[in-house]
Amino acid sequence: MHSKKENFNSIDIAKLVAALFVVSIHMNPLEPGLANDLIIGIFARLAVPFFYLTSSYLFFAKDNIGISNVTHYVKRLLILYTFWFVVNIPIMYVARVEGGEHTSSSQILIILLRDFFLSNTYDGSYFIISLIECVPLVYFMSKYMKDIWLFVIGLLLFLFVSVCLDYYTYLPPSLSEFFKRCGNTDYDLACTSLTAYIYVVIGKILAYHKEFINLNKWPIFCILLLSFTLYYTESLVFPFGIPRLPISRILASVTVFICIMNVKISSTMPYKHIRRMSTIIFFSHFIFVFFVWRYYYHVTEVLKFGCFSRYLLVLSLSILTFFFISFLSKRECTKWIKYSY
């Protein structure tokens, strides 16, 4: 299917930028205003959809995908998930104790064990779980269904989540109550495979139909302009209680992905390390975010840190974690730490 090796250098760099955006979402580095609306409200919110699209595209872009590829992919993700699960156990324990969800250590450990297999456990784990569920599902479904039906199913699931979280108030009372209850769960439906599925489907479609990526630059530019116009309009009306239109995020994410795929970078940069850095920043920054917000008063008042300084603190610690892990991965006795990326 792919006669020559593709150049994914632009994706590697974009993934690192996306990881920086994810950190910004959780640290609010900017004061309220136009810059915050543009950078955090628009660009940063495309980061996780971009990760889904990239992961799906890179998997399905391989030649002659078989069940062994799916098994290897899931196994690798499970190892990554387990590594960060173990690292986050102390934080998950403290968070559940302070949240008053459970009273005894045995209860908390049982819940953590249950969530390890069934749902979102530590911050960011939903991303891995969604890929573990969606990539094999799309692979097997594509053997029996056309891409258009996979896309329709993904769109319906995405819209279902949107109605459950935002639009149920616009429905008749009987339907409104049903969708409200569906959205009233212990976990944010927006951070589940229900919303990830459509991005995985689109990534698969783009991998098999390169003509969508190789469009003329003017159609791409027009679609990009339209999607960001819609997306920015949402950020203006959202504070007035008008729900966001989720379709514009899909359109914007896909268009950005196509634009990045059309950027070919041939310079000799350490792309392998860039890929690892983006992964470690994504997962490790949640740990530092937890401590910064836990000791918010001390960080803000004692250290005199403002919004952007707190962001730089978390980002710097995450980058240092990458270098520390890279150092340990080269030592014989700590090679196992490579499972962190």
User: Are 30 and 308 spatial neighbours (Cβ–Cβ below 8 Å)?
Assistant: yes
DSSP designation for 163: I
Which regions of the chain are under pLDDT 50?
A: 1-3, 240
Query: Are the C-beta atoms of residues 74 and 137 closer than 8 Å to each other?
Result: no
Cα 329 to Cα 241: distance, rounded to the nearest angstrom: 49
Whole-number CA gyration radius for the chain:
21
Long-range Cβ pairs for the range 89-94 (8 Å, 24+): 91/122, 91/287, 91/290, 92/121, 92/122
Token look-up 């097997």 returns: 140
The pLDDT assigned to 150 comes to: 97
- DSSP tally for the chain: helices H, then strands E: 14, 0
Helices of type H across the chain: 9-27, 34-38, 47-60, 67-98, 105-118, 125-141, 147-162, 173-183, 193-208, 217-237, 246-261, 271-294, 296-297, 307-329
Distance CA 4, CA 150 (A): 28
| 194 touches 137 (CB < 8 A) | no
Q: Report yes or no on whether pTM surpasses 0.85.
A: yes
- Sign of the alpha-carbon dihedral angle for 330, 334, 336, 341: negative
Q: What is the DSSP letter of 90?
A: H
DSSP symbol at 57: H
Query: Contact 332/54 with Cβ under 8 angstroms?
Result: no
Please tell me the number of Cα atoms within 13 Å of 245 on its side-chain side.
Answer: 14
Question: What pLDDT is attached to residue 42?
Answer: 78
User: How many whole angstroms separate alpha carbon 242 and alpha carbon 245?
Assistant: 9
